[in-house]
């Protein structure tokens, strides 16, 4: 059993190369070793979002608070509420972020997974236009 205490960790500003808007990331590495699981608590200000990206393995997003906008390339933007879980398969190009009405926090659980980043999510893409 392993307990990662949020109180022992410190948030850091999200990398502007891979996020649009203001977000803070608390890295919770080494949740498990086999399979390797890394957790990231991400707090997004309204309209803040990741760039387009994909993961080489599974990613689970657990929405902790607020409303999460999430989109797989080629599909409509979806909105997940607090308590919802989004499952993103290996290789699915996608983004995630807060909606326009308020901040959002999610826990990202990356299972045996590395991330490849692409370009930013435009306002039109964010708004689903
Ligand atoms: Mn992702």
pLDDT at 40: 97
Whether the Cβ atoms of residue 108 and residue 18 lie closer than 8 Å to each other:
no
Q: How far does residue 107's CA lie from ligand 1's centre (Å)?
A: 11
DSSP 114: -
pLDDT at 29: 85
Q: How far does residue 77's CA lie from ligand 1's centre (Å)?
A: 14
Q: How far does residue 4's CA lie from ligand 1's centre (Å)?
A: 21
pLDDT at 90: 98
Long-range contacts of 3-12 (CB under 8 A, 24+ apart): 4/28, 4/31, 4/39, 6/41, 11/41, 11/43
Q: How far does residue 3's CA lie from ligand 1's centre (Å)?
A: 24
pLDDT at 17: 97
* Entry pTM: 0.96
Ordered per-residue pLDDT tens for the chain, 129 residues:
999 999 999 999 999 999 999 999 999 988 999 999 999 999 999 999 999 999 999 999 999 999 999 999 999 999 999 999 999 999 999 999 999 999 999 999 999 999 999 999 999 999 999
* Nearest Cα to Cα of residue 40 among 64, 73, 16: 64
């Amino acid at each position: 059993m392993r307990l990662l205490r949020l109180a022992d960790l410190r948030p850091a500003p999200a990398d502007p190369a891979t996020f649009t808007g203001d977000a803070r990331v608390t890295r919770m590495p080494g949740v498990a070793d086999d399979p390797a699981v890394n957790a990231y608590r991400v707090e997004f200000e309204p309209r803040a979002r990741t760039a387009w990206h994909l993961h080489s393995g599974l990613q689970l997003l657990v929405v902790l608070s607020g409303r999460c906008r999430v989109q797989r390339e080629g599909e409509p933007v979806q909105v997940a509420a607090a308590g919802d879980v989004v499952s993103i398969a290996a290789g699915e190009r996608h983004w995630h972020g807060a909606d326009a009405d308020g901040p959002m926090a999610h826990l990202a659980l990356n299972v045996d997974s590395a991330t490849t980043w692409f370009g930013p999510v435009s306002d039109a893409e964010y708004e689903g236009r």
